[in-house]
């Protein structure tokens, strides 16, 4: 019997006009029923958030009061972490081993932003006018519309929701039609935590009109989107027609650079983590391996040897390293790029074909000597394909790494601290990991440059995304002035 979910709109639970099935990528069977939101559901969800912001208690609470609710929510997430992780694994096929770790980390986001919001102060400004005092304060932006991806729904929701709630915003979340179950279920924890009705609302649907109507609403103050570059451009265009603010976290084609002095075993581990964890279905995937020519073959041989040992199977088995790809569409896309590589004579050192397990399983794939202009090197694939290229000089490494339309992340492997500092400056990426890869934390800002988007999540910068600055001029002497001049 499949799990049946409802929409959370204001104080109501709604079943939607109809339902569509969520297919478990491992079993190939429909396992949950997701409500299809109607245009009226979308309008009602936005109105519920609008009313909760304009006249409800949430923005008018003290920071300490809101923080109490966020700490309660964090406790509930901890309590249900195993259940929530299983829901996500059944939805998108990611290994339970990884998802459990993500879900157990999520409470840190709500607790961190609860603390951070409490120490945000305004300031008194010297106005350079003897009879005026200047105050600058920060206020919540208002109603937030969030469009979430399918690869890490609850984890990436926390990047947006935790700071937004902490400062007093209200929220409408629209998860991906590929993986809606965990976010719709999460709404029950919001209710259990006692957060007022209308503060957090959910919408879901296979019809693209659901998301389009949400981001195009005139009652939305800011749109926060995580997903593909193509859809992100449409979101920005739609929200921009209403002059709503937009934050975009888009694609990536990140370089993982291994210098000659690196700890090779550590770098190999980082290369594997960067692309084969989660089946490469992450925006930060280190899909381009740049290795110094002196250690190029050694590194590739070790990566291939490790790839051969990757265990594929049931995502709910904690011994599984890689589950199936999340959808048939994603499977076909990965297969297409491998076929294209073969047609163009690119050497596939390992993988490049579907796994013998069948279904949507695809082998971890290693390609070598991939040219800079080939689609495998240039385009985001969102799958377990690692493309290698060698370099001879440090300058060449930076040039190759930066020669991309994306700029989300990069990895650097070296023992030379001076090179570390040079690389951190030279690489055009929102995040640079040194002797590590895929490390995340609530206190460190995250976001990209170039076509990887704009705006930042997490850290102080992530909190400010949901705040607006207000300037207050206070006349102190009761003086009058010529009304036809600037004061």
Residues carrying an active site annotation = 249, 283
Q: Sheet containing 255-258: which strands, arranged edge to edge?
A: 347-350, 365-368, 385-391, 288-292, 255-258, 409-413, 431-434
SS3 call for 153: helix
In angstroms, the first-to-last Cα distance of the chain is 71
Rounded Cα distance between 268 and 411, Å, is 12
30-36 vs 18-23, strand pairing mode: antiparallel
SS3 call for 37: coil
Q: Say if residues 274 and 285 touch (Cβ distance below 8 Å).
A: yes
Token digits of residue 439: 């490390």
Count how many Cα atoms sit within 13 Å of the Cα of residue 419 in the half-sphere of its side chain: 19
Token digits of residue 75: 């406790």
Token digits of residue 413: 């492997």
Query: DSSP letter at 173?
Result: E
Q: Say if residues 433 and 439 touch (Cβ distance below 8 Å).
A: yes
Q: How far is CA 119 from CA 101, 344, 441, 463, in A?
A: 29, 57, 19, 12
Rounded Cα distance between 10 and 51, Å, is 9
Token digits of residue 453: 């988007």
Give bridge partners of residue 30 from the DSSP assignment. 23
Taking alpha carbons only, the member of 190, 211, 199, 207 closest to residue 147 is: 211
SS3 call for 58: helix
Strands (E), 126-191: 132-140, 143-147, 170-174
Backbone conformation region of residue 139, classed left if phi is above 0, alpha if psi is from -120 to 50, else beta: beta
- The maximal CA–CA distance of the chain, rounded, in angstroms, is 84
Q: Say if residues 123 and 83 touch (Cβ distance below 8 Å).
A: no
Token digits of residue 87: 């829901």
Radius of gyration of the chain (CA): 24
Taking alpha carbons only, the member of 254, 220, 168 closest to residue 451 is: 254
């Amino acid at each position: 019997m499949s799990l049946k979910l409802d929409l959370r709109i204001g104080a109501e639970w709604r079943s939607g006009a109809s339902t569509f099935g969520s297919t478990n990528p491992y079993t190939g069977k429909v396992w949950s029923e997701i409500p299809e939101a109607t245009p009226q559901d979308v309008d009602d969800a936005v109105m519920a958030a609008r009313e909760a912001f304009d006249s409800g208690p949430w923005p008018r609470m003290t920071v300490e009061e809101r923080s109490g609710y966020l700490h309660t929510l964090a406790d509930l997430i901890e309590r249900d972490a195993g259940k929530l992780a299983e829901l996500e694994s059944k939805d998108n096929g990611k290994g339970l081993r990884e998802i459990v770790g993500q879900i157990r980390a999520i409470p840190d986001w709500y607790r961190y932003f609860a603390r951070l919001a409490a120490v945000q102060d305004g300031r008194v400004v010297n106005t350079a006018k003897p009879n005026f005092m200047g105050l600058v304060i920060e206020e919540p932006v208002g109603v937030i519309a969030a469009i979430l991806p399918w690869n890490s729904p609850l984890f990436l929701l926390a990047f947006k929701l935790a700071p937004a709630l902490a400062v007093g915003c209200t929220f409408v979340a629209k998860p991906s039609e590929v993986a809606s179950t965990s976010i719709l279920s999460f709404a029950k924890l919001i209710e259990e935590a006692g957060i007022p009705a209308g503060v957090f609302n959910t919408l879901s649907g296979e019809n693209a009109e659901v998301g389009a109507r949400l981001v195009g609403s005139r009652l939305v103050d800011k749109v926060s989107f995580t997903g593909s570059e193509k859809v992100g451009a449409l979101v920005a265009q739609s929200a921009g027609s209403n002059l709503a603010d937009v934050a975009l976290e888009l694609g990536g084609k990140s370089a993982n650079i291994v210098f000659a002095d690196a700890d090779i075993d550590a770098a190999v581990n980082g290369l594997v983590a960067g692309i084969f964890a989660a089946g490469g279905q992450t925006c930060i995937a280190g899909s381009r391996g740049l290795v110094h020519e002196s250690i190029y073959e050694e590194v590739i041989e070790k990566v291939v040897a490790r790839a051969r040992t990757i265990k594929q199977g049931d995502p709910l088995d904690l011994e599984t390293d890689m589950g199936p790809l999340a959808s048939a569409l994603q499977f076909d896309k990965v297969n297409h790029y491998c076929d294209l590589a073969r047609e163009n004579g690119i050497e596939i050192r390992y993988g490049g074909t579907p796994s013998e397990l069948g279904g949507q399983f695809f082998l971890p794939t290693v390609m070598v000597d991939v040219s800079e202009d080939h689609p495998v090197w240039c385009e985001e694939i969102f799958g377990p394909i690692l493309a290698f290229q060698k370099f001879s000089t440090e300058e060449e490494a930076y040039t190759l790494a930066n020669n991309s339309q994306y700029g989300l992340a990069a990895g650097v492997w070296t023992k030379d601290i001076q090179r570390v500092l040079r690389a951190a400056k030279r690489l055009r990426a929102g995040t640079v990991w040194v002797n590590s890869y895929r490390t995340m934390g609530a206190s460190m800002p995250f976001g990209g440059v170039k076509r990887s988007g704009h705006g930042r999540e997490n850290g102080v910068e992530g909190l400010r995304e949901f705040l607006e600055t207000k300037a207050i001029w206070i006349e102190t002497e009761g003086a009058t002035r010529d009304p036809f001049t600037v004061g």
